[in-house]
Structure 1
Amino acid sequence: MDSIKGTGVALVTPFNEDFSIDTKALERIVDYCVDGGVDYLVVLGTTGESVTLNKAEKQIVMEAVISANAGRLPLVLGIGGNSTYRIVDEVKAFESDHFEAILSVSPYYNKPTQEGIYQHFKSISEVTNKPIILYNVPGRTGSNMLPSTVLRLANDFENIVGIKEASGDMIQVMDIIRNKPKNFMVISGDDITALPTVLAGGSGVISVLGQGIPREFSNMIRLGLENRSDEAYALHYKLQEGMSLIFQEGNPAGIKAVFEILGLCAATVRLPLVEATPQLKRILKDFVLPLSRVHA
C-alpha cells in the first residue's frame, strides 16, 4: 500500500475542561499535521484515548477528522480490543470509504498464546475486505506477537498488509523484514526506533511526537527512505530528547502538553491518565519552542 508509507501520526483526542471532545482543536491539529508534511493520519488509536471513548464519541472523532482532512491525507482507523467476537462484530459493521485501512492491536490483558493471537486476527481478516495492519505492543498488551506469528498471518491472509511493530526489539523487527512477503509493510510503532526500522527496510512509522513536530519528523523519515542516513540521523538526534520526554509521564499526557505549548489544544486527559506535571511542561517548552520558532 503506497498510500500508507512514510510518517503516519497517531492523533490525540482533544478534550475540553469538562472532558467533552474538543472538535475545533482536533480540526486545528489535523491542519497542523497536514501542513507539516505528514503522510497519513491514524484515528482512534491508543494515543487517541480510544478505550475511554464511548461509541457516540468515537463517531464524533471520526467525523471531525474526515471533515477536517477533506481528503488530503490517507486515514487509518483503530479497531482493536481483547474480545475477538466484539471486534469481529465491530469490523463487520464498519462501513466507510474514508479509511484506507484498519489498525488492530494484539489482544491485551488475556495474554493469549501465539495460536490464540493467530486465530484472533484470522477471525477479523475473514469478515472484511479492508486492509488490516497488525499492532504489536507488548508493553501494553502483556504478550509479544512473535515474528513467526506475524509472518504466518502475512502469508495466509491477503488483506493483512502490515504490522505496526512496537516491541522495541530491533532484532525482532529485522527478522520480520528479512522474511516477510514482498509487499508486507513493517511500520515502527516507537519513535525512537523509527529511523533504524526504515533504514533496515521498513515502510515508516506511526508516530506520537510526529504530530507535535511534524515537519522535522516527517523529513527524517523521508531522508531515511531515501537512504540518506547521515542527514536523517542528524534530525533523529535533534528530536531524540523529545521522543523520550513525551512518554515520561505517559502517553498521551506528554504530547497533549506539547499541543498546549503550541496553543493547539488543552493538555486535558481522561482518567485513569492524569495531565502532565508543571515540571514536565517546563522541560517540554524548552524543547518545543526553539523548534517551532524555526517555522514561525
Structure 2
Amino acid sequence: MTPPSFDCTGVIPASLLPLHADFSIDIESYRKHLNDMADVRGISAITVNGHASEVSSCTFDEQQLLLETACDQVGDRVPIVSGIYADSTAEAVRLARMAENAGASALLVFPPNVFALGSRPEMVLAHFTSIAEATSLPLIIFQFPVKEPLSYGHDVIGRLIDSVPTIRAMKDGSSDPVRSEMAVREYQSDTFSVLTTHSAWLLQSLVVGCKGILSGAGSTIANLQVELFEAVRGHDLEVAQAVAARIYSTTQAFYCSPGVDMHNRMKEAQVLLGRLPSSVVRPPLQKLPAAEVERIAELMRVAQVL
C-alpha cells in the first residue's frame, strides 16, 4: 500500500505506549488507542515513536513493530509520522530507511542526545543531510526549548531549510514566543510549516500563524485541539477562547513538574476515560501517586472531558 501523502500541516496527535504489567507492549490496546485517535474528526496525521510513546525505552524492533502496527491499523485513514530518535547518524539513517519501508508518510527527526553537550552547525546539517539522502520522506525538525543545548539556533534552522529540500516542517518546542513568531514570519512558506507543540499557549501560537499542532496531549484531547485549530482558521475568536479555556485545565493536569511525567499523566487520563486498561510505564518512570491521579481527574472534569 502506498502511504498517504502528507503536507505537514494540521492537528497531529502523538500516540502513547500501552504496556502490560511486565512492561511488554500491549498491542491490542495500542490498536484501540490508534483507532481512538484516528476517529477524531479533523486530525491530519498521527505520530508514533515519539516522546509520548516512551521511544527512549524502545528497541529498534519495538519501534518497527509500533510503526508497522500503526500503518496496518489506521494507515489507510491517516498518514503516519514516525519519530527518528537516535544517538548516532548511522542509527538515524537505519531508522529512516525502516520507516519508509514500513509505510510512514513523514519523519520527525529528534536531535541526537550528544548535542546536549553543544553542537556546531555543520554537525546538525550533516545529520539531516544523511537522513535526507537515505529516504524520500518529508522531514520535520524537532526544535527543543531554546534554553536547552539540544535546541538549534535560529540561523541553523534557516540553513537546514535552505540546504535540505525534503525538510518540510518544524515541531516548535522553543518555549519562546519571540523565537516562535520569528520562525513563522521568517521561515514559514508554502513548502515549510511551523507546527506548535506549546500546549500552554496553543491559541497564541496559532493566532501568530502556526500551520498546525503536533503534541502528545493530542493522544487524549485531539478533539479540543481540532476545535481550536478550526476556530482560529475560521476567525472565530469567541469559540477559540472558550476552547482554549478548556485546554488550559488539561495543560495544568499534564504539564506540571516534573516534566518527565507528562505522558505518564496522559496515560492516567486515558485510564480515567476508560480508553486504556492500565497506566503502566517503563522504568525509570514510575506510577503516579493516588493524589496526583485525583488531581488529574479533577482538572479533566473542569475541562469537561471527564
Task: Compute the TM-score of the two structures, normalised by the length of structure 1.
Answer: 0.91
- What does residue range 16-55 of structure 1 map to in structure 2 within 5 Å? 16-37=20-41, 38-55=43-60
User: 1:89 Cα shift?
Assistant: 3.1
* One-letter amino acid of the structure 2 residue matched with residue 236 of structure 1: A
User: 1:67 Cα shift?
Assistant: 2.5
Q: Could you report, residue by residue, the CA deviation over 1:11-36 in whole angstroms, capped at 9, with x for unpaired residues?
A: 11110111111111112212221222
In 2, are the aligned partners of 1:77 and 1:102 still within 8 Å (CA)?
A: yes
Q: Could you report, residue by residue, the CA deviation over 1:70-128 in whole angstroms, capped at 9, with x for unpaired residues?
A: 51111100013231222123324443363210000122243213332222212222222
Q: Which residue of 2 aligns with 1:90?
A: 95
User: 1:69 Cα shift?
Assistant: 0.9
Q: Which residue of 2 aligns with 1:218?
A: 226
- Residue 252 (1) aligns with residue 260 (2): no
Q: Within 2, Cα distance between the matches of 1:221 and 1:96?
A: 32
Q: Which residue of 2 aligns with 1:191?
A: 199
Moved more, 209-218 or 70-79: 209-218
Q: Within 2, Cα distance between the matches of 1:95 and 1:16?
A: 28
In 2, are the aligned partners of 1:155 and 1:181 still within 8 Å (CA)?
A: no
* One-letter amino acid of the structure 1 residue matched with residue 217 of structure 2: L
Aligned equivalent of 1:107, options 99, 112, 117: 112
Q: Which residue of 2 aligns with 1:7?
A: 11
Q: Which residue of 2 aligns with 1:118?
A: 125
* One-letter amino acid of the structure 1 residue matched with residue 203 of structure 2: L
Identical residues among aligned pairs (%):
21
In 2, are the aligned partners of 1:43 and 1:76 still within 8 Å (CA)?
A: yes
Q: What's the Cα RMSD here?
A: 2.1
In 2, are the aligned partners of 1:154 and 1:181 still within 8 Å (CA)?
A: no
Q: Which residue of 2 aligns with 1:272?
A: 284
Aligned equivalent of 1:157, options 145, 153, 164: 164
In 1, are the aligned partners of 2:125 and 2:160 still within 8 Å (CA)?
A: yes
Q: Could you report, residue by residue, the CA deviation over 1:12-63 in whole angstroms, capped at 9, with x for unpaired residues?
A: 1110111111111112212221222232100100111111011222222122
In 2, are the aligned partners of 1:42 and 1:77 still within 8 Å (CA)?
A: yes
Number of residue pairs matched by the alignment: 293
* One-letter amino acid of the structure 1 residue matched with residue 296 of structure 2: L
* One-letter amino acid of the structure 1 residue matched with residue 112 of structure 2: P
User: 1:180 Cα shift?
Assistant: 1.3
Q: Within 1, Cα distance between the matches of 2:226 and 2:39?
A: 11
Q: Which residue of 1 aligns with 2:84?
A: 79
User: 1:292 Cα shift?
Assistant: 3.5
SS at match of 1:134: strand
SS at match of 1:96: helix
Task: Compute the TM-score of the two structures, normalised by the length of structure 2.
Answer: 0.88
Moved more, 31-40 or 4-13: 31-40
Q: Could you report, residue by residue, the CA deviation over 1:137-187 in whole angstroms, capped at 9, with x for unpaired residues?
A: 138963321221111111222101010010111111111111115220100
Please list every run of 5 or more consecutive structure 1 residues that lacks an aligned counterpart in the other structure. Answer: none
Pick closer, same or farther for the CA change 1:92–1:147 going to 2, 3 Å.
Answer: same
Please list every run of 5 or more consecutive structure 2 residues that lacks an aligned counterpart in the other structure. Answer: none
Q: Within 1, Cα distance between the matches of 2:13 and 2:99?
A: 22
- Residue 231 (1) aligns with residue 239 (2): yes
Moved more, 30-39 or 275-284: 30-39
Pick closer, same or farther for the CA change 1:109–1:229 going to 2, 3 Å.
Answer: farther
- What does residue range 126-165 of structure 1 map to in structure 2 within 5 Å? 126-138=133-145, 142-165=149-172
Q: Within 2, Cα distance between the matches of 1:261 and 1:8?
A: 23
Q: Within 2, Cα distance between the matches of 1:284 and 1:139?
A: 28
